[in-house]
Amino acid sequence: MARKVCKDCNLIYEGDKCPNCGSQEYGDEVKGKVAILNPENSKIAKNMAKKSRGVYSIKN
Ligand SMILES: [Zn+2]
């Protein structure tokens, strides 16, 4: 199954809908990605305002 990129939270996932926010709006462009494994301790997570662990795409 192809990977999808959630348009709402940028989480990269496989399946029918985003497991993070439940959105079914997705794209397939992945220009870059970042894994957030420890959201509470991650500077990247803070910069991206993400609070859930996962792999997110970077659009810029
Ligand atoms: Zn999402």
Domain boundaries, the chain: 4-57
Q: What is the DSSP letter of 22?
A: -
1-53 confidence digits (pLDDT tens): 578 999 988 899 999 999 999 999 998 766 777 777 776 776 665 666 556 77
> Between 3.40.50.150, 3.40.50.720, 2.20.28.90, 3.30.365.10, what CATH number should domain 4-57 receive?
2.20.28.90
pLDDT of residue 50: 58
Q: What is the DSSP letter of 48?
A: H
CA of 30 to the centre of ligand 1 (A): 14
pTM greater than the 0.85 cutoff: no
The tokens for 57 are 């795409």
CA of 42 to the centre of ligand 1 (A): 19
pLDDT of residue 58: 75
CA of 31 to the centre of ligand 1 (A): 17
CA-to-CA separations, 27 to 20, 38, 40, 47, 48, in angstroms, rounded: 15, 25, 27, 22, 19
Q: Is 38 helix (H, G, I), strand (E, B) or coil?
A: coil
pLDDT of residue 54: 80
